[in-house]
């Protein structure tokens, strides 16, 4: 069986670190983006972790667990879309984008592993 506390998992730690990097970078976004891009990218990146916390509360019910991990994956995918906008609007550099997307994809692979192998978690 996997970690008893989701916060001990690699996926949670990586998702949390990514959300914090996005938070720090988004402090530099222009004020007019406050209620759109800034809030949305912060919300979706943080929701990856929050959905994982909810999933672990549903571990006794495999279908619910997978559903909540799937929600986490959906939020992670949304974050990648917001990163596309951030780089297209020149709010982050191409180098920052490449790094963040690589981390985002790694989180996505780990989430997919959880979805496909819930018994290991």
Tokens standing for residue 19:
């959300």
pLDDT tens digits for range 69-117: 999 999 999 999 999 999 999 999 999 999 999 999 999 999 999 999 9
With H, G, I as helix, E, B as strand and everything else as coil, classify residue 100: helix
Superfamily for domain range 6-120: 23S rRNA-intervening sequence (1.20.1440.60)
The structural domains of the chain, with segments of one domain joined by +, span 6-120
Helices (H), 1-121: 10-26, 39-57, 62-88, 94-116
pLDDT tens digits for range 40-64: 999 999 999 999 999 999 999 999 9
Computed on alpha carbons and rounded to an integer, the radius of gyration of the chain in Å comes to 15
Query: What pLDDT score does 4 carry?
Result: 73
Res. 2 pLDDT band, cuts 50 70 90? low
115 within 8 A of 73, measured Cβ to Cβ: yes
pLDDT tens digits for range 34-45: 999 999 999 999
């Amino acid at each position: 069986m996997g970690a008893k506390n989701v916060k001990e998992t690699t996926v949670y730690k990586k998702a949390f670190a990514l959300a914090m990097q996005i938070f720090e970078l988004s402090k530099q976004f222009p004020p007019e983006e406050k209620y759109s891009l800034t809030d949305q990218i912060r919300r979706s990146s943080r929701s990856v972790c929050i959905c994982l916390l909810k999933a672990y509360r549903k571990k006794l019910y495999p279908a619910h667990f997978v559903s909540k991990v799937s929600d986490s994956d959906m939020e992670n995918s949304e974050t990648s879309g917001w990163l596309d906008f951030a780089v297209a609007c020149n709010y982050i550099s191409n180098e920052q984008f490449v790094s963040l997307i690589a981390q985002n994809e790694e989180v996505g692979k780990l989430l997919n592993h959880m979805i496909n192998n819930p018994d290991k978690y």
